[in-house]
Structure 1
Amino acid sequence: MKKYIIISTLVLSFAFAKAQTTTILDTIYANDTKNVALFFPEPIRQGITGSDNFVFTYNREKEQYFGLLQAKPGKESNLLVVNRNGSIFSYIVRYKKQLSKLNYFISLSNSIGNEKPIKVDSILAESSEERVDNRTYYYQKFCSYLLNRNQRIGRIKKRNEGIVLSVENIVFDKEELYFVIQIENNSTLDYDLNFLKLSVETRQKGKKKSLQRLYQEPIFKHNMPSKITENETVRFVYVLPKFSLSNDRRAIFELHEKDGERNIELKISHSYINNPN
């Protein structure tokens, strides 16, 4: 029997959506001779600008509360920042030769929303439990099928001190990309996995070259290990929503060891992402 969630006011959600579309973004000015500092209420998890004549730098290794903005002469753009708690901040950024303000202290009230959906008592909707179960079942079956195949997309491999990370296959099915991944431990020490994450890296051109990374959240993981013992090889699958990359972008898998330094960054060209099996 289908379950239903009974809720109450559609007007509230409509008003909320309408308010979002009419939000006027504040403007932050920057130039190429000074650092403009932006201090946020929570540590920065992601930050990206819409044009390569603006550069926003922040600590990607250890989350901190501030980032630095610089700009070259050119058209205005935008800056999008996501805090650790999911709060989203968006600003118009412009070049200005003379700056009257170098520090911006941003409060939580300036957030335009949160990346996690907010539950609002406003909809009469069918429960999605059964649909989620069916989708999970399909992911499991298709991932198992891919692990039993010998198909490879190319030589995508990186090693560090006896640890070998490789992407054997990238497959497109329905609306998802499936990454078949292998980790080999050819060392004499067990490898405790801290995390393996996929990011999209934008290579910005110009005199002030910089790299910006945007984390891609997997929607399903199949046979994901927590430890790879010595001389062991494990294979598993990451499932992500389908995406494509322009020539100035590439995907990067970051493998980090727990309480160790045998870390690996495996770079994947946009051509592999755009032409999956």
Structure 2
Amino acid sequence: MKNLKRIIVWSFVLLCTVIQAQEYNGNFNSNELRVANNMTTSLVFPFAIISADKGSEAIVVDKAKGVENILLVKAYDSDFVPTNLTIVTADGNLYSFIVNYSESSPNINQVITAELAVKQQVVFSPEIENKSKIEHNANLCLLKTKFLKGFKSKEFNLGIQVTGIYVQDNLFYFRLHLINDSMIDFEVDQLRFFIRDQKKSKRTASQELEIIPVGIFDSITIVPHESELERVVVTPKFTISNKKYLIIQLLEKNGTRQVGLKINRRALTKILPL
């Protein structure tokens, strides 16, 4: 009997712990949001945040630095009349929350699922709609099976590899695999794409054609030490002659380390439709 009572007590304690963990760190399943002025509430959306509008100045709203899909919310006053918060994400979904003050039990680190979206399709301007489509395609690239081999380079314990090239709507999608095997974080200054002549004549200067990326998904600010990252870089469609090659170059900020990868015309014959 005593053992049975102990089991019941510990089961109740475990259940309370699980419920509390879900409340603070699990998926958010309510349109009511509780915030405090001594804690920051982090809302993680499935897609990038296009806009966020708060109902009053009683709350402070801002995007997390370096990312596009995390919104930080905090109470400005110690108590306030309930207000609202409206968010639009890149997939065309609209989210609406009623925000209340709660010093004792604010929502913390909440994952927002698409089920919470208002069932109304958002109509973007052409520019934003195009960006949303490109981001969607970039995410598809990361789900593709790797098919390119041999296009890689490594210097200063830093590696860069092209594992896939796709084309859609006159855009190239380069899937890059970045490696930092060193003990020092690599802070990124630039990720360059440019076309250069294979051989430099003594009588003529070498010419470079810079290719400006349309976007990098997700943005690269740092490659942590002893880590690997997957990123998709989108560029306008281009061609390479037999006498030229493409260089993908990663440069360090406030440092001398860099790694570059040369890609010839043969690689572009391996491009697949997205």
What is the TM-score with the length of structure 1 in the denominator? Answer: 0.51
Alpha carbons of structure 1 residues 207 and 189: separation in structure 2 relative to 1, 3 Å: closer
**Counterparts of 1:268 and 1:206, CA distance in 2:** 20
1:183 to 139, 160, 178: 178
**Counterparts of 1:204 and 1:267, CA distance in 2:** 13
**Deviation, structure 1 residue 131:** 1.1
Alpha carbons of structure 1 residues 207 and 149: separation in structure 2 relative to 1, 3 Å: same
- What secondary structure sits across from 2:134 in the alignment? helix
Are 1:264 and 2:259 counterparts? yes
Write out per-residue CA displacement over residues 108-145 of structure 1, whole angstroms, 9 at most, x where no aligned residue.
Answer: xxxxxxxxxxxxxxxxxxxxx61112111111111111
In 2, are the aligned partners of 1:140 and 1:222 still within 8 Å (CA)? yes
Are 1:212 and 2:192 counterparts? no
**Deviation, structure 1 residue 251:** 0.4
Opposite residue 168 of structure 1, the aligned amino acid is: T
Structure 1 segment 1-277 matched on structure 2, within 5 A: 130-203=125-198, 208=203, 210-277=205-272
- What secondary structure sits across from 1:233 in the alignment? strand
In 1, are the aligned partners of 2:166 and 2:172 still within 8 Å (CA)? yes
**Counterparts of 1:274 and 1:222, CA distance in 2:** 24
**Counterparts of 1:206 and 1:238, CA distance in 2:** 31
**Counterparts of 2:234 and 2:210, CA distance in 1:** 14
**Deviation, structure 1 residue 210:** 4.5
- What secondary structure sits across from 1:211 in the alignment? coil
- What secondary structure sits across from 1:265 in the alignment? strand
Over the aligned positions, Cα root-mean-square deviation in angstroms equals: 2.0
Q: Which runs of 5+ in 1 are unaligned?
A: 1-128
**Counterparts of 1:191 and 1:178, CA distance in 2:** 24
Opposite residue 187 of structure 2, the aligned amino acid is: D
How many corresponding residue pairs?
Answer: 150
**Deviation, structure 1 residue 197:** 0.7
**Counterparts of 2:147 and 2:270, CA distance in 1:** 13
Opposite residue 265 of structure 2, the aligned amino acid is: H
Alpha carbons of structure 1 residues 244 and 230: separation in structure 2 relative to 1, 3 Å: same
In 2, are the aligned partners of 1:191 and 1:227 still within 8 Å (CA)? yes
Q: List structure 1 segments (4+ residues) > 6 angstroms apart after TM superposition.
A: none
**Structure number with larger C-alpha Rg:** 2
Q: Paired residue for 2:49?
A: none
**Deviation, structure 1 residue 165:** 1.0
Opposite residue 266 of structure 2, the aligned amino acid is: S
**Counterparts of 1:187 and 1:206, CA distance in 2:** 37
